[in-house]
Amino acid sequence: MIRFFAAPIAAIALLSAMAGGARAEEFDSRDIMGGGPNFFRGGSSPIPRTTVMYNGNYAPGTIVVNTTERRLYLVLQNGQALRYGIGVGRDGFRWGGVHKITAKKEWPDWTPPSQMLARRPDLPRHMKGGIDNPLGARAMYLGSTLYRIHGSNEPETIGQAVSSGCFRMTNEDVSDLYGRVGVGTTVVVLNN
């Protein structure tokens, strides 16, 4: 008698488990339209974005990049700043100075500069913007330099010195910053 009921109960349990798993893998239209759990792919930052007290002598709206701390600050009113975790240039690729954001792009195309191609001839010559593009969801171009503040699909690199001079943020954080600043924003890069 127990065997008679065991098989149907096991089948029902298996179907329930499969249905639950299928629901977890269902397509979420918010991923395309924005806001879904996979829209920014790459996970959250290992260094959470937070509001902190900030004692710098910079006007509100200024971006201050501290390469030693591997943090980017957006200066706010009342002695505060939004602090983001960033990836910075590896040894030999860190730099400092003051620039302005000269362009902003959503899902930017990537064309590696000739200097990078000389070091890495295996890289593609051009890559259309999209989820697999190394510039991620947003990019803010810094003056006449080759450098950008841009997204990354590799959240594990945030807080690390791994880039060729650009400043990496998670796609979620770079999208947040992108919405808060405009072309003409001053960017101060401190390389102590």
CA end-to-end span of the chain: 78
Q: Is 0.85 surpassed by the pTM of this model? A: no
Assign 137 to helix, strand or coil.
coil
Average pLDDT over residues 140-158: 94
Cα distances from 82 to residues 50, 51, 65, 73, 176, in angstroms, run: 6, 4, 12, 5, 10
What does the pLDDT look like over 33-58, one tens digit per residue? 233 333 444 457 789 999 999 998 99
What pLDDT sits at residue 192?
Answer: 81
Determine the pLDDT at residue 43.
57
Report in angstroms the alpha-carbon separations of 179 from 135, 140, 172. 17, 11, 11
Three-state helix/strand/coil letters over 139-177:
EEEECCCCCEEEEECCHHHCCCEEECCCEEEEHHHHHHH
Looking up tokens 């990354």 gives 152
Reported as a single tens digit per residue, the pLDDT across 155-192 is: 999 999 999 999 999 999 999 999 999 999 999 999 98
